Structure 1
Amino acid sequence: MTTPLAPVLSAFWDHPESWTLKTYLDHGGYEGLKKAFTQKPEELTQAIKDSGLRGRGGAGFPTGMKWGFLPPADGGPRYLVVNADESEPGTCKDIPLMMAAPQFLIEGVIITSYAIGCNHAFIYLRGEVVHVYRRLLRAVEEAYAAGYLGKNIQGSGFDLDVTVHAGAGAYICGEETALLDSLEGRRGQPRLKPPFPAVAGLYARPTVVNNVESVASVPEIINRGADWFTSMGTERSAGNGIFSLSGHVNKPGQYEAPLGITLRELIDMAGGMRNGNDIKFWTPGGSSTPIFTKEHLDVPLDYESVGAAGSMLGTRALQIFDETTSVVRAVTRWTEFYAHESCGKCTPCREGTYWLKQILRRLEQGKGREGDIETLLDTCDNILGRSFCALGDGATSSITSAIQYFREEFEAGMHTPASELFPPQRSALFDYTPKHETLAGVGGH
């Protein structure tokens, strides 16, 4: 292993009360805010541009550039909206961050709001994670009580209110304009762009929408300087990030490391593959990114290298599958998720994901028909680039890449169920008991 971990956001997650304001202050919290208030807002925006911080929500768009898109102040309100609607299968970085150390996010919200001229910020949280919602509310209360939120923050003359809003549980609300519609009380569906949120976002006012990890990274950049941040990562993918490892590794979890680390290094840190099995396939950025195989273990996990290899870094949700796993079964489950979560606004995604699901189920059951694989690829081609937002594109990624690398498994679906080729109990992470055995036991037969 050559790349060390870089615990910054996760530096004190193991503290008995890591989530409290006291713990945060004991570890240097709000030092970045003090420095921020000694600078002009435009200087802060330039510092974030200089750091090379790219959006940590999946797209990797430069954060400072997004701040700079806001039009000149016109006397009206402008908003910061933090996208905390973490819903991508396999993604688990923002929720543990908000659970373990929410003050990183709150300090980042204050600095970002000061930089863009916002006096009311919103944190849009996934509604199912009630425990995180309560912790975030408590953290905001502590910040208000300590004078870090409210009127005249720390004597700076800057006012800021923060609203924590729990969504109703829709994957589509992770798309920034659907999130804004939901926040305004409407059904969460993507908006037509332009206008972009920077010009007409929340309540038709200039709005910056940033991911949790992006905003939480701001305080340390301001406190330690842009050069400190660029000393990690690669030239075009600067800094560190949280990599979420799940699946068939011995020690799944969050690993905070510089961008550019490889999966081979991360698997070593995670205690190797389960039962010493070989890796079969994996996702570099969640289920909406094209899958990789064993041959990609040494691809640097930065935006450029992963893109050049044919996938996307996305949310760094590394789902690891060993040789016991049916790729057809895995892709079918992901596709069922996307078909369920499609908002129905556009025809390619609404109809296309439905038919992808039907064909994949046939193949998984060993009841595939002649031409099913070609129909899958053709349907994906009719969705990709033609849907209203990226949900449709993401739904096709795992299918086309899985057929590219494991076409023979899809062909086997013409005659043999996936459960025979790859018995589920072999790939299950926990003890596997078939349903019929459980029911027999309950019935006393």
Structure 2
Amino acid sequence: MIIRIGIGSCGIAAGALPVWEAVQEEIADRGMSVELEQTGCIGMCHHEPLLDVIYEDGRSYTFGHVTPEMAREIVQAENPASLEKYLVSSPEKRNSFLDKQLRVALRNCGIIDPESIEDYIKEGGYQALEKIIKENDPEGLIEEIKISGLRGRGGAGFPTWFKWNATRQEKNPDKYVVCNADEGDPGAFMDRSVLEGDPHSLLEGMAIAGYAIGAHTGIIYARAEYPLAVKRAEIAIQQARQKNYLGKNIMGSDFSFDIVIKQGAGAFVCGEETALIASLEGERGMPRLKPPFPSQRGYWQKPTNINNVETFANVPWIIKEGGKAFAAMGTEDSKGTKVFALAGKIKYGGLVEVPMGISLREIIFDVGGGIKDDKQFKAVQLGGPSGGCIPASLMDTPVDYKSINETGAIMGSGGMIVMDETTCMVDLARYFLNFTQKESCGKCVQCRIGTKRMLEILERICRGEGQEGDIELLETLGHQIIDGSLCGLGQSAPNPVLTTIRYFREEYEAHIYDRKCPAHQCKELIKYRIDPDLCKSCGLCAKKCPVDCISGEKKQPYIIDDSKCIKCGSCLEACPTKWSAVVVE
């Protein structure tokens, strides 16, 4: 029997390490012949910590929200599968979160030990690299990637084969393969999970790219805020060198390729490839004009191919299974699968990989389980701060590059933040613009000053100081910033504002003309009141109030003093739901 515990960042944050220690102690105390293994995140972050019990016949039982006490009970049980109250997945109990997924980039995450190259090899790891070295056909390799239809998963969706081919065509013998593992979008953790759960798939994908373009050096540009991901990538690099999957004369061939890791300081703009290159060279991360493109003059002015983690993780599978197999998934315009990070007001938050062409409705309601607390779905922010809001009326939009772009949003790297009826769309636009304004490198006047002006207008509107013409001014500024900015940050920064105006204009108008926040979120535009007909004079609201602005007597309705109220919401939380006497207006 094997016991496997998910020890990714989400698992550790939820308490996986004490669970690991409890299982380890229990096995030792009982002298059991049980293998204890670690793994990365399988995507069910909402059930962490996760523990798998795997029998010799292959049956696997997954337990969720495991505590050290529960872990001991599972180990002690004669038949762990009988502990149905803890089960989230088993051969008899299917899991809706996993059922609609099609895992290619995440094929090994949550299954293998990320710190064991032997586990990766057992799953067919490095067979693709061995295959392309034996065939010795770099042009044929690029053609296979072309057949697959793989597009860059970092946001722009540029054809991967075209980048590879452009870099290969350059005559300079010194070339580089760079992996963009910067992942700066709030709410996005796709690349981190691959690095933590299956780092060898990235290394193999980079080595294959190196062979295709004629490069001998690979660089992983990772966020310093990802310590576990960096640690596991470093372990994987050392193991691959020992097995001669990296280094000199790989597998006895003439091909030499090695990989190093560079940690970035977490600047969002360094997700843009020319800014990333500047950071790699020790300069401030600022983008430059293109052309020349990195494939022509990139790192140290040498031809450089840049893809993100998810893109490289797909490559070994494509080479092993064939480009046609990958192209058979998805749509005509968008082949294969896409990984999304589900976050926000959703029941089952986590990481999902689905075939392109699936609808937003299927992802949010069938895979993600719908809206938390069964509230009404309002919108989804797709593509992070550079993306846009897609309303409930467009929930049947298929997830492919063309269809998503037509909504005004972008696919982006895969961040998907779900919002319910309590979300203020004006405040949401303000939040994302505040992020991009702070992350602007300042090189372009349009981006540096334009986003600041837009943010000031949004802050005014949220304070109840909006003016007639503000909406039109936001639209004008947004389009000017898009047209005049140098890089993708500025060209997409206004998207959250423009899409919320496009689909939720009435909320902007309510803030400006009625001085009301329909979602009851903007403090300056709401007030708390106690309904005298519903108040039971229990005094719970007064006890919880941090500023003593609530007064009342027995058998008399309590009253809120508006002049003292700081609108913290403590009274609303304290009032029993069966009475709901506290009202937000």
TM-score normalized with structure 2 length: 0.70
Residues in 2 aligned to 1:175 and 1:277: alpha-carbon distance in whole angstroms: 37
| SS of equivalent to 1:198 | coil
- The match for 2:515 among 404, 407, 416 is 416
| SS of equivalent to 2:442 | coil
Residues in 2 aligned to 1:154 and 1:420: alpha-carbon distance in whole angstroms: 61
Aligned residue in 2 for 1:427: none
How far has the Cα of 1:75 moved from its partner?
Answer: 5.4
Aligned residue in 2 for 1:314: 412
Is 1:9 paired with 2:105?
A: yes
How far has the Cα of 1:418 moved from its partner?
Answer: 4.2
Is 1:188 paired with 2:289?
A: no
| SS of equivalent to 2:228 | helix
| SS of equivalent to 1:287 | helix
* Conserved 8 A contact 1:6-1:256: yes
Is 1:200 paired with 2:297?
A: yes
- The match for 2:216 among 111, 116, 119 is 119
Aligned residue in 2 for 1:428: none
Is 1:148 paired with 2:245?
A: yes
Aligned residue in 1 for 2:438: 340
- The match for 1:366 among 458, 464, 468 is 464
2:164 partner letter: W
Is 1:297 paired with 2:391?
A: no
Residues in 2 aligned to 1:75 and 1:8: alpha-carbon distance in whole angstroms: 34
Q: CA separation of 1:398/1:435 partners in 2, compared to 1, >3 Å: closer, same or farther?
A: farther
Aligned residue in 2 for 1:356: 454
- The match for 2:498 among 400, 404, 407 is 400
Aligned residue in 1 for 2:311: 214
Residues in 1 aligned to 2:518 and 2:117: alpha-carbon distance in whole angstroms: 50
Residues in 2 aligned to 1:346 and 1:69: alpha-carbon distance in whole angstroms: 28
How far has the Cα of 1:293 moved from its partner?
Answer: 0.5
How far has the Cα of 1:276 moved from its partner?
Answer: 1.1
1:331 partner letter: A
How far has the Cα of 1:434 moved from its partner?
Answer: 9.2
Is 1:285 paired with 2:383?
A: yes
* Conserved 8 A contact 1:364-1:417: no
Point out the structure with max Rg over C-alpha.
2
How far has the Cα of 1:146 moved from its partner?
Answer: 1.6
Residues in 2 aligned to 1:13 and 1:371: alpha-carbon distance in whole angstroms: 51
How far has the Cα of 1:370 moved from its partner?
Answer: 2.7
Residues in 1 aligned to 2:490 and 2:169: alpha-carbon distance in whole angstroms: 35
- The match for 2:353 among 231, 252, 256 is 256
Q: Deviations over 1:61-120 (max 9, x none)?
A: 100011111264535301111111100223221111111111110010111101110001
Structure 1 regions of 5+ residues with no counterpart?
425-432
Aligned residue in 2 for 1:106: 203
1:28 partner letter: G
* Conserved 8 A contact 2:168-2:213: no
Structure 2 regions of 5+ residues with no counterpart?
1-95, 524-543, 549-565, 571-585
Measured on the aligned residues, the alpha-carbon RMSD in Å equals 2.2
How far has the Cα of 1:16 moved from its partner?
Answer: 6.6
| SS of equivalent to 2:218 | strand
2:124 partner letter: G
Is 1:227 paired with 2:321?
A: no
Residues in 2 aligned to 1:119 and 1:146: alpha-carbon distance in whole angstroms: 17
How far has the Cα of 1:19 moved from its partner?
Answer: 4.2
| SS of equivalent to 1:321 | strand
Residues in 2 aligned to 1:240 and 1:192: alpha-carbon distance in whole angstroms: 32
Aligned residue in 2 for 1:35: 131
* Conserved 8 A contact 2:168-2:212: no
Aligned residue in 1 for 2:235: 138
How far has the Cα of 1:31 moved from its partner?
Answer: 1.1
Residues in 1 aligned to 2:112 and 2:156: alpha-carbon distance in whole angstroms: 34
Amino-acid identity (%):
40
Residues in 1 aligned to 2:323 and 2:184: alpha-carbon distance in whole angstroms: 30
| SS of equivalent to 2:287 | coil
How far has the Cα of 1:296 moved from its partner?
Answer: 1.3
How far has the Cα of 1:393 moved from its partner?
Answer: 2.0
Question: 1:63-78 alignment to 2 at 5 Å?
Answer: 63-70=160-167, 72=169, 74=171, 76-78=173-175
Residues in 2 aligned to 1:410 and 1:213: alpha-carbon distance in whole angstroms: 37
* Conserved 8 A contact 2:464-2:511: yes
2:222 partner letter: L
Q: Deviations over 1:28-71 (max 9, x none)?
A: 11111111112211111111011100010111110001111126
Q: Deviations over 1:405-434 (max 9, x none)?
A: 11121122235364972379xxxxxxxx99
2:458 partner letter: L
* Conserved 8 A contact 1:172-1:341: yes
Aligned residue in 1 for 2:489: 391
**Deviation >3 Å, runs of 4+:** 71-75, 415-420, 433-439
> Which shifted more, 132-141 or 107-116?
132-141
| SS of equivalent to 1:38 | helix
How far has the Cα of 1:290 moved from its partner?
Answer: 2.3
Higher relative contact order (CA 8 A, sep 6+): 1
| SS of equivalent to 1:121 | strand
TM-score normalized with structure 1 length: 0.92
Is 1:90 paired with 2:192?
A: no
Residues in 2 aligned to 1:139 and 1:232: alpha-carbon distance in whole angstroms: 30
Q: Deviations over 1:355-402 (max 9, x none)?
A: 111111111122222322222112112211211111112211110110
> Which shifted more, 95-104 or 313-322?
313-322
Aligned residue in 1 for 2:556: none
* Conserved 8 A contact 2:341-2:350: yes
Q: CA separation of 1:423/1:365 partners in 2, compared to 1, >3 Å: closer, same or farther?
A: closer
- The match for 2:152 among 51, 55, 60 is 55
Residues in 2 aligned to 1:350 and 1:303: alpha-carbon distance in whole angstroms: 28
Is 1:171 paired with 2:284?
A: no
Residues in 2 aligned to 1:73 and 1:119: alpha-carbon distance in whole angstroms: 15
Residues in 2 aligned to 1:7 and 1:327: alpha-carbon distance in whole angstroms: 33
Q: Deviations over 1:281-307 (max 9, x none)?
A: 112322312211011111110112222
Residues in 1 aligned to 2:390 and 2:546: alpha-carbon distance in whole angstroms: 32
